[in-house]
């Protein structure tokens, strides 16, 4: 089982984090490898085994894992001590200051985002696809960290994990127009008669607007659609599994 670490987060003593890959795991085609999603019609026993092995490898309590029913909205939920893992929340971002509560975001092209404030000891995960980015879920999560946990955005470390990049993210006329209406024309690239959307450049601009320090931001160089040997890509593979971003306060 292979996972990838963020350079920015790896030196932080009080957290455990990872972005998983397809490598390892027992899922069979078309989910081949380490699929962590239960909602994609993979065999439940295989997904359970993948989760079990990942938790053992990274050393976090699987029974406390918090994952989301991700809905491409902008609902952000604070996970408190009273959280019951049986009630998986319908949302696209989670925040907590509780130790030993692993937060997980699952993706296949959308951006899995991990956040950590080492001063206030607060962590968050965000699921950001086009809808989430257009709905500003990332800056909204940071604002909620400031409001509910008194974080200072200047202290927050952020990693954007592997996701579909503008090389592969072709969009139609309608989405191009929507991006222009939202003043994101800078993120539209034209190649012959086709348009490509650069979600990462929009995320970067949104982060600057909420005063995230450039040196506190890391962006994975991996495009999921260009690297299907390592990552699931919905665009490239259609029926496929999900890999994950995971973070926990120790
Ligand atoms: Zn690509």
- pLDDT tens figures, 24-42: 999 999 999 999 999 999 9
Distance from residue 132's CA to the centre of ligand 1 (Å):
20
Distance from residue 7's CA to the centre of ligand 1 (Å):
22
Please, how many CA atoms are within 13 Å of residue 235, restricted to the half-sphere of its CB?
17
Distance from residue 188's CA to the centre of ligand 1 (Å):
15
Please, how many CA atoms are within 13 Å of residue 97, restricted to the half-sphere of its CB?
13
Distance from residue 109's CA to the centre of ligand 1 (Å):
10
- Assess if residue 67 is contained within a domain: yes
Q: What is the pLDDT of residue 218?
A: 98
- Assess if residue 21 is contained within a domain: yes
Asked if residue 150 has pLDDT above 90, the reply is yes
Our separate counts of H helices and E strands in the chain read 7, 13
Indicate the number of domains in the chain: 1
- Assess if residue 208 is contained within a domain: no
**DSSP per-residue letters across 16-30:** EEEEE-SSS--BPTT
Mean pLDDT confidence for 187-197: 95
Tokens (6 digits) for 184: 């994101």
- Assess if residue 127 is contained within a domain: yes
Q: Is 245 exposed, middle or buried (0-12, 13-18, 19+ CB in 10 A)?
A: buried
Distance from residue 20's CA to the centre of ligand 1 (Å):
18
Residue 39's domain comprises 3-163+219-249
Mean pLDDT confidence for 151-170: 98
- Assess if residue 49 is contained within a domain: yes
**Using CA atoms, how far apart are residues 247 and 244, in angstroms rounded to an integer?**
10
Distance from residue 225's CA to the centre of ligand 1 (Å):
5
- Assess if residue 129 is contained within a domain: yes
Q: What is the pLDDT of residue 245?
A: 98
Distance from residue 113's CA to the centre of ligand 1 (Å):
18
**Using CA atoms, how far apart are residues 124 and 106, in angstroms rounded to an integer?**
14
Instruction: Express each pLDDT in 78-136 by its tens digit.
Output: 999 988 878 899 999 999 999 999 999 999 999 999 999 999 999 999 999 999 999 99
Q: What is the pLDDT of residue 84?
A: 87
Q: What is the pLDDT of residue 1?
A: 87
Distance from residue 98's CA to the centre of ligand 1 (Å):
36
- Assess if residue 214 is contained within a domain: no
3-state per-residue secondary structure call for 160-175: ECCECCCCCCEECHHH
Distance from residue 168's CA to the centre of ligand 1 (Å):
4
Q: Provide the whole-model pTM.
A: 0.97
Distance from residue 29's CA to the centre of ligand 1 (Å):
22
- Assess if residue 176 is contained within a domain: no
Distance from residue 45's CA to the centre of ligand 1 (Å):
32
Asked if residue 169 has pLDDT above 90, the reply is yes
**Using CA atoms, how far apart are residues 237 and 204, in angstroms rounded to an integer?**
27
CATH of the domain at 225: 3.60.140.10
């Amino acid at each position: 089982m292979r996972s990838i670490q963020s350079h920015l987060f790896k030196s932080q003593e009080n957290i455990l984090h990872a972005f998983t890959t397809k490598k390892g795991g027992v899922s069979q085609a078309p989910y081949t490898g380490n699929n962590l999603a239960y909602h994609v019609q993979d065999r439940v026993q295989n997904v359970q085994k993948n989760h079990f092995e990942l938790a053992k490898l990274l050393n976090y309590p699987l029974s406390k894992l918090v994952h989301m029913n991700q809905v491409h909205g902008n609902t952000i939920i604070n996970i408190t001590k009273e959280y019951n893992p049986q009630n998986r929340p319908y949302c696209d971002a989670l925040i907590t200051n509780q130790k030993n509560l692993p937060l997980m975001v699952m993706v296949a092209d959308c951006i899995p985002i991990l956040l950590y404030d080492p001063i206030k000891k607060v962590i968050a995960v965000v699921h950001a696809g086009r809808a989430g980015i257009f709905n500003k879920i990332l800056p909204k999560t940071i604002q909620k960290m400031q409001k509910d946990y008194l974080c200072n955005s200047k202290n927050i470390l952020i990693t954007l994990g592997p996701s579909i990049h503008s090389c592969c993210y072709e969009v139609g006329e309608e989405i191009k127009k929507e991006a222009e209406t939202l003043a994101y024309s800078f993120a539209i690239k034209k190649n012959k008669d086709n348009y490509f959307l650069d979600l990462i450049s929009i995320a970067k601009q949104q982060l600057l607007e909420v005063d995230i320090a450039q040196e506190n931001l890391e962006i994975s160089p991996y495009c999921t659609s260009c690297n299907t040997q390592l990552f699931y890509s919905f665009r490239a593979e259609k029926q496929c599994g999900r890999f994950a971003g995971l973070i926990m306060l120790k």
